[in-house]
Amino acid sequence: MHDWIDLRSDTVTRPTPAMRAAMLEAEVGDDVYGEDPTVNALQDRLAAELGFEAGLFVPSGTQSNLLALMAHCERGDEYLVGMDAHTYKYEGGGAAVLGSIQPQPVPHAADGTLPLDVLATVVKPIDPHFARTRLLCLENTWHGRPLPLEYLADARRFCDAHGLALHLDGARLYNAAVACGVHARGIARHFDSVSVCFSKGLGAPVGSVLVGSRALVEKARRWRKVAGGGWRQAGMLAAACLHALDRHVARLAEDHARAARLADGLRGLPGLAVAAQHTNMVFVDVAPERLAALGAHMDAARVRLSIGYAPRIRLVTHLDVDDDGVERAIAAFRAFFA
C-alpha cells in the first residue's frame, strides 16, 4: 500500500532526518533572557539576509503578524489590508481583538495586489472622527502568486507619500523570491517589517521570524511576552529553521516544477478547471455536487485534499511530495474525471 500523498498544505511536512539531527545538536539557552545562541543566530541571520537591523523568533506566523501590527500601531490606529488577506481573515481578528487596531479591508485585484488608487480613497484624514491610518499590510505570495516587483516599489512610494508603514506577511516570501528569480532581499527591501514562516515550504516543524528595525523588534518582543510567546530553550526549533535556510530554499524550485507538472496533468480534464499556476499551489474548480464523490475517490487512492472551500480546491506541493506522488495524484484525478 502506498503512503498518503498530502496535497492539503505545505504545513504538513515532517522534519527530515538531517533537520532532526541539527535540532538535537543545537546549543540552547533561555531565550527570554536573550541567551539562546541558536535563536540569536537565526534572528541575526535572517535580519542580515533580508536587510534589517533585528529579528524575533516566534511560534507562528499568526503571532508574528500580530506582533508586527501591534508594534506599528497603537490603540485606535488603523491598518489597510486585503479583504482575503491572512492577517485579516484567518487570524481570528487578532489585530482588532488583542491590538485594538481597526482593519480597513479592501478588495484584491485579480493578481493579488491592492490597487493603490483604491487605497488612496480609504486613508483617513487626521480628524477626531477617524481612526489614524498607520500601516499597509501586503501578502506575498498571494494564493500562490508572487506580487509583481514593480507593484512593491509603487506600494513603497504610496506609503511614503501617505506617511504609512509597510508590513509584509511573507509567510511564503522564499517561494515568491524563487519564482521571481530574485534574492529575498529584493522583495523585503520595500518593507518596514517582514514576517517569514519556516513551517510552510521551508519544512521546519515550528516557527516564524519577524524582521524590522531594532526599535520595532523591541516593541514586538514586549508584545510577544504579553501574548505568552516568550519561550525558553527554543534553540532546538531555531536549529531547524537555520537548517531550512541552508538546505530548503533553492529546492523550492522543485516544488514549483512539481506544481507545474500537476497543473499540466490536470488541464483539459472534463469537469475540472485549472487556474494559472505560479509557485507551489494549484487551484482547481470542480462542480460543487461532485466534491463529495471526488473526496471519497481521492481518499481511496490515498491522496489527501482539503475539500470544503468549495468549489475551489487548493493543491499544494512541498518537501514530502515527490515526482511519483505527483504522477499518482494526476492518475487519481484522471480516473475520476475520465
Ligand X SMILES: *Cc1c(COP(=O)(O)O)cnc(C)c1O
Q: Which residue is nearest to ligand X (CB)?
A: 61
Question: What is the pairing mode between strands 165-170 and 193-197?
Answer: parallel
Cis upstream peptide for 311 (omega within 30°): yes
Query: Please, which residues bridge with residue 77 across strands?
Result: 132
Cell of 312: 475551489
Nearer to ligand X, 164 or 197 (CB): 197
Which CB sits closer to ligand X, 193 or 265?
A: 193
Beta bridge partners of 145: 142
Mapped onto helix, strand or coil, the DSSP state of residue 224 is helix
Question: Rounded to the nearest whole angstrom, what is the least distance from the CB of residue 171 to ligand X in the complex?
Answer: 3
Residue 59 or residue 295: which is nearer to ligand X going by CB? 59
Strand partners, 31: none
Smallest distance from ligand X to CB 86, Å: 3
The residues of the shown chain that bind ligand X, judged by CB under 6 A, are: 60-62, 86, 139, 169, 171, 197, 199-200, 208
Q: Is the dihedral of CA 147, 148, 153, 158 positive or negative?
A: negative
CB 162, min distance to ligand X, A: 24
Q: Least distance to ligand X from the beta carbon of 261, Å?
A: 23
Q: Which is nearer to ligand X, 9 or 30 (CB)?
A: 9
- What letter would DSSP give residue 164? -
Tell me how far, at minimum, the Cβ of 334 lies from ligand X, in Å. Answer: 29
Spell out a b/e string for 298-322, using b for 16 or more CB atoms within 10 Å of the CB, else e. beebbbbbebeeeeebbbbbbbbbe
86 or 224, CB closer to ligand X? 86
